[in-house]
Structure 1
Amino acid sequence: MVNYRKYISGVAVLASGFFLAQSTVSTVLYSQAYENQKNTLNLPSPVTSVAERTVLSAKELVDINVNTMMADPVLKNANWGFVVYDPKTKKVISSYNENTPLVPASTTKLLTTETALSLLGENYRWITQLEYSGTIDENGTLNGNLYVVGSGDPSLGTNKAGAWSYRDIISDFMGGLSREGIRKVNGDIIIQTALFKGNITRLPENVVWLENNNYYLPVGTTREINPANEKLIMKKSGLVSDKKYFYMSPYANQMVYADKYEGDGILTTKLPDAPAYLANTFRTTLVKSGIAVTGKVTPRMTDATPESRKLVSAYKSPTLGDIIFYTNQHSDNSLAEALLKTAGFQKLGDQTSESGRIVVTSHLKDESFDMIGLNYMDGSGLSRSNNVTPISQVKFLTSLMNEKYYKTYFTSLPVGGQSGTLKRMFIGAGNGQVFAKTGTLNKVKTLAGYLKTNSGKTLVFSLMVNNYSGSVDMVKKRMEKILEPALDL
């Protein structure tokens, strides 16, 4: 039995519910005629009989909430869409603007992470190896080079998803040299990796450079610098009509700006050139430990005449399943962009973002993704040029339920009231029942995933709000209100 008092806060809402009970369509439109007529309606008292209180179904309550949100001050001027979908019947239960292309923000990661799982498999790992060339004499001097051979591990040195820190990896490398009896290196430390080698890469158009006090960079080299900080170099209102904040990126060699700055002049970067930083830190550690290195750290992306080399140590990353879990739970943008480039490299042999986009969109077409309204610009969802429709999101999520990696994919999603970016949503109703990817940009809030109903059914939903009024917390509360009666479907 549905207790409609839980969801209906006023007589006007109840009246619209009686209109909806006569309707067979899933999309509810706000009626101005209803506004003009509501004062003449003979409405039942809130304290009516049990039989009268059960006239509204769970579906009608969902529709009522959608209907009332159209006049809500926060959403009435917004561009938003909603779908709740039954994967068994393949039918829409309730919807609003289901075919409208909207900015998906970080729900874009649903597409990126699934493509990586499909192409690489959940047990895929990246390997970073330490090798040496030449010979070791009786004094322990290596007359040759050390090689740090990377494979594009996006978690290298980050501690993310259980990845080792740089210190741990270097300690393992040092142990390998000790086993080989190397006490001096008469040569260079050569970084060799064919992945992510571009010195200057640009983010997709309309990327938010500063979002929630984090400065996002494209995947690219930082050469020999520790990418701990970037500096605010100018704060001046005279350059343009509105106040802007300017930053110089030493990694992309360009000046960028943000509309808002909240910090002390230091901006944290997201993605270093991990092999370069690892190799330089490794050399420093060797010297401090009394193992002299006569040469320098130098990159060698390609090698026409490779030296014969011996493996000293091999570090394996966490599995792709572990990395995708971390990516979706924390909405990690740098990992998502690296997964995009990894997909491009694996399929086309090219580590650029453009190749990644080609591979992802091609994969989606092969999986019968509804391409109408799709504009896939990056792997993370930072670009405001990304677009997707709510109906295509739910049909895509539905199609994955038969995939062998579905359990890994499903488990990677934050859980309402319990984990990841959903830990502070659905604290009451929906706690432990909403499994979804969140998305947040300025004036963009999105949510897409799966819903476990009180009767044990699994439903699929998408809810995307663009250009809302008020605060993001206000939008979150309205999202919760829209989805709450769906728990009784």
Structure 2
Amino acid sequence: MIPLQSLSAVSFGRLPPNQTAIYVADLKTGQILYQHRADVAINPASTMKLVTGYVALKQLGPNYQWLTQWRSDAAIENGTLKGHLYWYGSGNPVFDQRDLQQMQAQLQAKGIRKINGRLILDRSIWSNTGSADNFLADQNEVFVTPPDPHMLAYRVWWLTIATNNQAQPVVMVDPPLPNVVVQQQIKLHNHNIPCPSVRHFVHTKFDGVTLQIQGKVPASCLKKSWFINTNKLSAAEFAAHSFRAWWQQNNNDIGFSIGTLPKNTRVLASHRSKPLSDIVADMNKYSNNTIARTLFLRLGEKRQGDTIYNAKALTLQTLQQAHIDTAKLQLENGSGLSRKERVSARLLGQLLQSAYQSSFAPQFISSLPIGGVDGTLKTRFKNTGGQWHLKTGTLKNVNALAGYWIPNSSTQHPLVVVAIVNTPGNHVADLDILVRSLANSYHK
């Protein structure tokens, strides 16, 4: 491999060189092959998730699991829990409705059919959940859903078009939340037309009390599902109402409140998340901000003091111990959903090199989207033989790619490639061309 010797050898195309940062290194020799503005502080957008994922895997290990527990200090008599049930919020970012139902099944397996007390949510695990400032315009979007000790199914409803006994379309709501009135006026379209998305035919509105669903759907929409954000409910309300929805189907209803787990309680139901390596893959493949922010909080939660401060300190310490240049690092929430966060191309490049040599390299590399295959790269880098493993990043005025080019031939060396542009406009296509050209310039 022969490094390019001058800026003129790289074609930036329509990308402004003075707003673009590049770092390319040979993973076999460790040699820096090309760098341009590699030490400038830049907004990384979602390539910041590489930092959070790296530190989490290094500190917690690929097999780490979140443990969610329901506990009580009350006796069980004649099928009745004679007191409160406590849900200690673990912050598990991938806890879903089926997990909740499985935990309720554990209660029933212990003979519990009725709860005389309340569902008490202990939310004390974090001192705060941090910020993602200046995204008010996106407040109704799921991608800005903040982390929460009682995160459940990303706080969304799943809706499915079904048919009733009269063969008329109806919408099934999962979960069927209590205290929410569902008003729906759904008709069947006379024409048999395609249904690429139910959202094209159905309008929904939720005001916190009433869910209104209206539309006319073709037969091709039957059995199709979509989701809506329940942002009019807090995460705690959504979790508690979901518990009530499933519990009261076969048992009694139960109220809820916020409280503190008392001493000397016993576990009545528990759930372990899938391994951290799989959760990091969910985060990176689909650029999930809620997971990333939760991971960041997890780094700071086991110490006294402010959770975010602790997370920032541990992140900085971990990177510095790995001899990664942190001079330009600025952290807000560890997800890249931030107007404040900054890295350098060198930091990301060195981090990727360190991860490639680490004990968790297989899990880290496989967590990244593969060009033309999956995640946020499914429609990009097509026909490249699965050689590109890259984290994407997109914000207003930011387009970023950072990851690996891993050749199919043993005669070629794998590369670290980081390319980030901070300038107005959508530069995805131009960035893809630049990144591919960088690899083409170096391999034989």
Shared fold (TM-score greater than 0.5)?
A: yes
How many positions carry a matched residue from both structures?
A: 374
Does the CA contact (< 8 Å) of 1:221 and 1:272 recur in 2? no
State the alpha-carbon separation in 1 of the partners of residues 29 and 432 from structure 2: 29
Q: How many Å apart are 1:297 and its aligned residue?
A: 0.9
1:203 corresponds to 2:131: yes
Distance 1:172 1:180, change over 3 A: same
Partner deviation per Cα, 1:439-472 (whole Å, 9 max, x = no partner): 1112211111111234342111111111055x33
Q: Residue 324 of structure 2: which of 369, 385, 393 is its match?
A: 369
Matches within 5 A, 1:53-452: 64=9, 66=10, 68-69=11-12, 72=13, 74-76=14-16, 79-138=19-78, 140-157=79-96, 166=97, 168-196=98-126, 198=128, 203-206=131-134, 210=138, 214=142, 216-220=144-148, 227-228=155-156, 268=229, 277-293=238-254, 296-301=255-260, 303=262, 306=263, 308-346=264-302, 348-349=303-304, 352-428=307-383, 430-452=384-406
Q: How many Å apart are 1:323 and its aligned residue?
A: 0.3
Distance 1:465 1:75, change over 3 A: same
Q: How many Å apart are 1:206 and its aligned residue?
A: 4.8
Partner deviation per Cα, 1:175-229 (whole Å, 9 max, x = no partner): 223322223222122223432464xx552455575399655143347999x9549
State the alpha-carbon separation in 1 of the partners of residues 310 and 50 from structure 2: 18
Q: For the aligned residues, what is the CA RMSD?
A: 3.3
State the alpha-carbon separation in 2 of the partners of residues 434 and 151 from structure 1: 35
Name the SS for the 2:301 alignment partner. helix
Name the SS for the 1:384 alignment partner. coil
Distance 1:185 1:153, change over 3 A: same
Does the CA contact (< 8 Å) of 1:435 and 1:450 recur in 2? yes
Q: How many Å apart are 1:373 and its aligned residue?
A: 2.1
Name the SS for the 1:288 alignment partner. coil
Give percent identity, aligned residues only.
27
Distance 1:142 1:210, change over 3 A: closer
Tell me the TM-score normalized by structure 1: 0.68
Tell me the TM-score normalized by structure 2: 0.74
Does the CA contact (< 8 Å) of 1:415 and 1:423 recur in 2? yes
Which 5+ residue runs of structure 2 have no aligned equivalent?
158-206, 209-226
State the alpha-carbon separation in 1 of the partners of residues 110 and 84 from structure 2: 14
AA of the residue aligned to 1:467: T
Report which structure shows greater RCO (CA 8 Å, sep ≥6).
Answer: 2
Which 5+ residue runs of structure 1 have no aligned equivalent?
3-23, 31-63, 158-165, 230-248, 251-265
Q: How many Å apart are 1:478 and its aligned residue?
A: 2.9
Distance 1:115 1:287, change over 3 A: same
Name the SS for the 1:89 alignment partner. coil
AA of the residue aligned to 1:337: R
Does the CA contact (< 8 Å) of 1:156 and 1:274 recur in 2? no
Name the SS for the 1:123 alignment partner. coil
Distance 1:97 1:191, change over 3 A: same
State the alpha-carbon separation in 1 of the partners of residues 135 and 5 from structure 2: 33
Residue aligning to 1:16: none
